[in-house]
């Protein structure tokens, strides 16, 4: 789990089904996400259900990517991923708008062994604006 200045770093796996709204099915080509960061598409069910399923199958974190083509921090308002009954969810999760998510997904297609690093900001008051936070994330995605 990412806490304070601690860093979580791992390879990633795009979940099958990509929307993460039903249990993973190994017989249909899904792989357990044991020790990996799960990448899941937004839509069709609550964010918490997606992350809960990823956790159930061994993921150590989850990245939910937007299903709205062309969405970015520049043209879409920020919002919180939410859901009821989150006490059982122990893994960290983040949301990425589709413009940045497509860069990440492309990097993973080109090199499936790409590692992703997640770090929690320990003091949100140190961030000048929400835009500066997304700029830092964009720079990290571009560097991949």
Angle separating helix axes 130-143 and 98-110, nearest 10 degrees: 20
Average per-residue pLDDT in the chain?
Answer: 76
CA distance 6 to 117: 11
Does position 86 have pLDDT exceeding 80, yes or no? no
Reported pTM: 0.74
In percent, how much of the chain has pLDDT > 90? 18
Pairing of strands 61-65, 37-41: parallel
**What kind of fold does domain 7-143 have according to CATH?**
Glucose Oxidase; domain 1 (3.50.30)
Q: Is the link from the previous residue into 22 a cis peptide, with omega within 30 of 0?
A: no
Supply the pLDDT for residue 2: 43
Confidence at 64, pLDDT banded by 50, 70, 90: very high
SS3 103: helix
């Amino acid at each position: 789990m990412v806490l304070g200045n601690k860093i979580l770093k791992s390879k990633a796996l795009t979940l099958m089904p990509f929307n993460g709204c039903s249990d993973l099915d190994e017989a249909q080509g899904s792989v357990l996400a044991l020790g990996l960061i799960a990448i899941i598409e937004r839509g069709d069910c609550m964010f918490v259900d997606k992350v809960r399923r990823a956790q159930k199958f061994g993921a150590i974190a989850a990245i939910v990517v937007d299903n709205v083509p062309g969405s970015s921090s520049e043209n879409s308002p920020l919002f919180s991923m939410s859901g009821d009954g989150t006490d059982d969810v122990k893994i960290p999760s983040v949301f990425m708008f589709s413009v940045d998510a497509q860069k990440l997904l492309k990097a993973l297609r080109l090199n499936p062994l790409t590692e992703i690093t997640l770090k929690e900001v320990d003091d949100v008051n140190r961030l000048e604006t929400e835009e500066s936070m997304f700029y830092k994330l964009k720079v990290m995605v571009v560097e991949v």
